[in-house]
Amino acid sequence: MQDRYHTLDINNRLIWNFRDIGHTMRRISEGRGSQKRVLIVLRETGIITQRELTQRLGIQPGSASEVIGKLEEAGMLIRTPSETDRRTADISLTEAGQAAAAQAAASREQRHEKMFSCLSGEEKQQLLELLERVNQFWDQHYPESEAVQSDKPSKEK
């Protein structure tokens, strides 16, 4: 961390750490719409509609179509017209896709284990309880629909 970190008050040091952890998690994760993430989700859900997959991943339909198309070309999944909704397709893994998804899930599990290997089981439990309490408090006090107004410059003329 930078020299400035040690001059910050505790609240700003906490925020600094959350920010750094967020950056690290984004850097080392599969990404919301990555091929590995799609494979893992399909492994967990079995057959899923393209619309449901898009919603679960939190990505735009066009992005999902692109990733799904690449995985389909690679023989990892198949799309079949949905029997319940003609506007979408059901997606499922092929045998090759199942194997790739199992490998991706195993890699993810190993990475998650390594990420917290600096903590004992008791420390992990304590951290989890503290984070859940902070997360619950933040959800109540900072809903997603509410922008932080105090940090925005005013538009007064």
Question: 48 vs 42, 85, 86, 155, CA distance in Å?
Answer: 7, 12, 14, 46
Q: What are the E-state strand segments in the chain?
A: 48-49, 77-81, 89-93
Q: Under a CB-based contact definition with an 8 Å cutoff, are residues 112 and 104 in contact?
A: no
pTM of whole model > 0.85?
no
The pLDDT tens digits of the residues spanning 21-38 come to 999 988 887 666 689 999
pLDDT at 136 over 50: yes
pLDDT digits (tens, 9 = 90+) for 58-80: 888 888 889 999 999 999 999 99
Count of CB atoms situated within 10 Å of the CB of 92:
15
Q: Which residues pair with 78 in a beta bridge?
A: 92
Determine if residue 82 is left, alpha or beta; phi over 0 gives left, psi from -120 to 50 gives alpha, anything else beta. beta
For residues 79 and 91, the answer to whether their CB atoms sit within 8 Å is: yes
Instruction: Give residue-wise pLDDT tens across range 34-62.
Output: 899 999 999 999 999 988 998 998 888 88
Residues 6+ apart with CB under 8 A from 25: none
- Nearest C-alpha neighbor of 130 from the set 13, 6, 14: 14
